[in-house]
Amino acid sequence: MSDHDVFNASSTATWIECSWSALNAVPDAPKKASTIEAANSGTEKHTVMEAGEVPEVEAFLAQLEGGGQDVEREVRVHLTDNCGGTVDVLNARRGTSTVLDGKFGKWDVPAKHNMQLMTYAAALLSELTDTEWWRFVIYQPDGLDDDPWKQWVHHRSEIEAHKARVLRAIQDRSAPKPGPWCRWCKAFQACPAMSTDAGFVMGAMSRRIEDLTPDELVRLLRLIRALGDVKEVYEEALTVKLKLGYLAAGAALKQGRSYRAWNDAIQAAEYLHAQYGAKGVKPITPAAAEKLGPAGKTYAAVGAHKPEADMKASY
């Protein structure tokens, strides 16, 4: 994936709503150590998938139109000189073409209306003129969903409409537009719309919660969430400074809290189950059971259910 794509396909969901975010991205935005480790692990898994060494991906590709004979991997695409990305797997066929993307984090990534995949398809429209339908496939083996596979089919007209929207977005030079897409924005630290919020936060938090309007609550929560996302990064930095001997008023190194752990978790589970039955062992989740093998998958199909989730504010 090129660093020269100002409007990178992977970030479409953000910059299609606020082009300022792509044009003013901060080169070294703070990231948690765990985030960096997860990214490196994902890169390694991508490499394995690109090499054709993930059996279930290869089995899926073999079922595609043409038996997967037209599969291309790591296909570099461009919609404009500064807008593009790299398609993990492309199966270009007359009638229906398939774009497959591997995701190796836990955060759920949908296939329906996936902005990244729609931008890939938009970049391929002029080349694949006989493709009427676009099949988007997300392979996410480590996700929280029960099934690692997600698919959706979009008509060519939807991709053409998305292409027009993308072209308008990358020509937009208006002021920042705060919204739900601000989360993980690469220009958050430099955003003038956010830089004025420090005073707002102090004023808002000095008022009664019931007196705050919905708009004020959204603005307040977005900023709190953004700061929470990077809190661990700055805590790690302070810890390093203190270990090096630096001093800061009111700050000190303290031993973190630890908890007892089993010397042998399998032995502990067997012993406690023998002594106390099911209440002595906490079962793994249905999704984790499915990943153990066929027996786990079969049992999860009949022995698990998904309760209706509570309504929750989204911002």
186-210: pLDDT as tens digits: 898 888 887 777 788 889 999 999 9
pLDDT computed for residue 173 by the predictor: 96
Q: How many CA atoms lie within 13 A of 11 on its CB side?
A: 26
Spatial separation of the C-alpha atoms in residues 33 and 238, rounded to whole Å:
14
Q: What single DSSP character describes residue 91?
A: E
For 270-309, letters b (16+ CB in 10 Å) and e give eeeeeeeeeeeeeeeebbebbeeeeebeeebeeeeeeeee
Q: Are 158 and 121 in contact (CB under 8 A)?
A: no
Spatial separation of the C-alpha atoms in residues 285 and 297, rounded to whole Å:
11
CA 27 remoteness from chain centre: 19
pLDDT computed for residue 91 by the predictor: 95
Ramachandran sector of residue 140 (left: φ over 0; alpha: ψ -120 to 50; beta: rest): beta
Summarised one tens digit per residue, pLDDT across range 217-232 is 998 998 888 888 888 8
Q: Are 314 and 180 in contact (CB under 8 A)?
A: yes
- Rounded to two decimals, the pTM is 0.78
Spatial separation of the C-alpha atoms in residues 83 and 5, rounded to whole Å:
5
For 110-133, letters b (16+ CB in 10 Å) and e give ebeebbbbbbbbbbbbeebeebee
Q: Which of the four CATH numbers 3.90.320, 2.60.40, 1.10.3470, 3.40.1000 does domain 7-171 have?
A: 3.90.320
pLDDT computed for residue 3 by the predictor: 52
CA distances from 109 to 116, 143, 251, 261, 290 (A): 11, 8, 39, 33, 19
What ranges do the domains of the chain cover? 7-171, 196-243, 265-303
Q: Please identify every stretch of the chain with a pLDDT value under 50, giving residue numbers as ranges.
A: 1-2
